Structure 1
Amino acid sequence: MSQFSEPAAKPKPKRTRVGLSLLAVGLVLLVVLAFSPSPYVIRTPGPSFDALGTTEVKDDAGETQEVDVISIDGADRIAPDAGTLSVMTVNVTGTPQYQPSWFTAAAAWLQPDKDVLPIEAYYPDGVTAEQRSEENAAMMTQSQGAAIAAALTEQGYEVEAELTVMGVNEDGPANGILAEGDVITAVGDRTITDYASLQAEPFTEEPTDVTVLRDGKAQTVTITPKKTDTSDTPILGILVQDGFKFPINVDIELGDVGGPSAGLIFTLATIDLLEEGDLTSGESIAGTGTMAADGTVGPIGGIRQKVHTAVEIDSDYFLAPEANCQEALQASVADEIPIYAIADLDEALATVKAEGTDQLDGIRTCEDALAANVPQV
């Protein structure tokens, strides 16, 4: 029997081994990069809340309680009808301390209900997650005040504007003279009702009389405004916030939700709870938009995500600030729900009442609003 030896295997070329090594290193680097932090935040659809219903909050003892989103004291609270007025929210993933990975950001780019934004859009240089949360809480508080003011004014109540001191700079001229909670009513002989009236005339570096309400009692103090490293004009060194004096107590509770975008829905819900009849006509209404005390509705962020949520919860239609109409119609589900353009409270009420009767002549959809703004040639 003959014996044959197997031919020796040919050694792999050196450049093949080098290529495989480089490929392996490249794959490792790609994996490392994919899971390394990216300079973005991701905006996704958040939960919705019925402003006519209840929500769960924790008390000082940490116990969960169910409370009305809107409670009223000093006037009859009319039981809400079968319809809903849903507040839309968005979730934002990512902070300066905890940034989403490149892989997570890339995956979000491919999903139509998500937005990937530069982290500076939510956290300007130097702003921490805690500071952003505090800003959102402050905006929510101010937004609720304006929403209540608009609702009560529409209902015929007299609402007085006021300017409240929210903080005093320790190094400022008002330190030890003004205090948090003071309501500024006059500077010299000028009546003060809001921030605009406070800024109407610049201060000088002369002793200035400031009249405030403290614990319900009026008192006049003297402050000498000063220039600072950040201000070329003399200032008092205080933080202030526009507010209102209401004839009845309306309290809005929505837990940890922040920002100003629920104003429109809060206003409509407050009106619905104060007047007889069914404002919603039993329909499920979703919407968003800031609300000014004079009834003006302003734009917000994240409207595409809110349209997605509205469709998901099977809302009958969506109320959108006119300035957000183009973006709202870019939502991938925009053709699944009527979206109406809202410029102010009067238009919001007219739209809701028209929807309840199916008499929609003169009611603007977002398509109508955009078409009306197209230049004619």
Structure 2
Amino acid sequence: MYQTALISLWRSPLPCRDRCPHLSGLRLKVALLFIALNLCLGFAGTAVRAHVFQSSEAIVFFNRDATSFALRLNLNLEAILAGIDPGVTDTSDSPNAKEYDRLRRLPPEQLQKEFKAFLPEFIAGLRIELDGEPAEVTVQTDTFRDVGDLSVARASSVLLNGALPPGAKVFTFGWDGAFGTVALRTISARARSSHIEIIENGETSTPLVIDDLKARSMVDMITDFMVIGFQHIIPKGLDHILFVLGIFLLSIKLRPILAQVTAFTLAHTVTLGLGTLGLIDVPALIVEPLIAASIVYVAVENILHEVLSPWRPVVVFMFGLLHGLGFAGVLKQFNIPDGEFVPALLSFNIGVEIGQLAVIAAGFLLVGLWFGNKPWYRQRVVIPGSSAIAAVGAFWFVQRVAF
């Protein structure tokens, strides 16, 4: 099916200008085919990654009125019970692979018995502290799904409860390194930036101030996500910054910049929403190299063309879809409730747009305003700048593919 779609795309006629029509159409088709092929590989790759020792998720809830806290663990329980080394890239490579496969074939009630037998060791492997003192926890509920597709890891959930002493200030969490990597996050009555932290190698989380995690207003939530979106561009999104600078360098005139930025914004808004909702799920190992490739493409085209080509906004739109998936990877971590999704998505996207506009404004103030009308602007600014951007993008592409 994928091959037929790609062949059809290649054979389909594409509009182009009188100047170099075959070359422009070919470049656009190559870009589209490159993206389509890698997206197909991305969807197919989900099956390949099925046996990876997946990271667990720990979600902590604080209820001051009830003087208690709850900790929900979403995990690949069979991998922990079987003693799979978290360092393996594929559970099939572990010496305990047979035990892992046996556990995965157990019905929920039998898996629950295995967990109860392991429970003392599991509780002993947890490090939950309040104000530096160990906190006692008990299992309130556990949920084990039916045996399904054995090519996909079965998700299990364990809900723990613990007492929250009056006046407790600080919470920390950690567990045995043999249990693997865990993403710790907090949640309150409204989705918010709160705290998200990846804990590896048996380390302990940074201290969480309990009073800072109480419910917040809608205005607070919107502000939080605008800040998160902006910070994902400045200072954390160097790859996105280079892509936007590549768009800016082609021409400092408003029309070329507006055409590209509009295409990029529309595209990443679509995949940001769909990716956050889980309707599109392309692995980061596919998306991240393609984002690097998009930087190279835009920079190289700046060198080859002096003006905006007819296919450039289309290609920027296609690459914008990829960048949107990268943005979605950030927003998905918050597991935003349905009732808060739209304002959180819009405020995050507004933050991203403000960040992008800030990059363009900085580029204009640094070089465009002073040198944009100079006859040597292209030779001394556009070509060297684009060459540097292409080199960095190429390095990232190789790095992300190889490692």
TM over 0.5: no
TM-score (norm 2): 0.27
**Of Structure 1 and Structure 2, which has the larger fraction of its residues in helix?**
2
TM-score (norm 1): 0.28
The structure with the largest alpha-carbon Rg is: 1
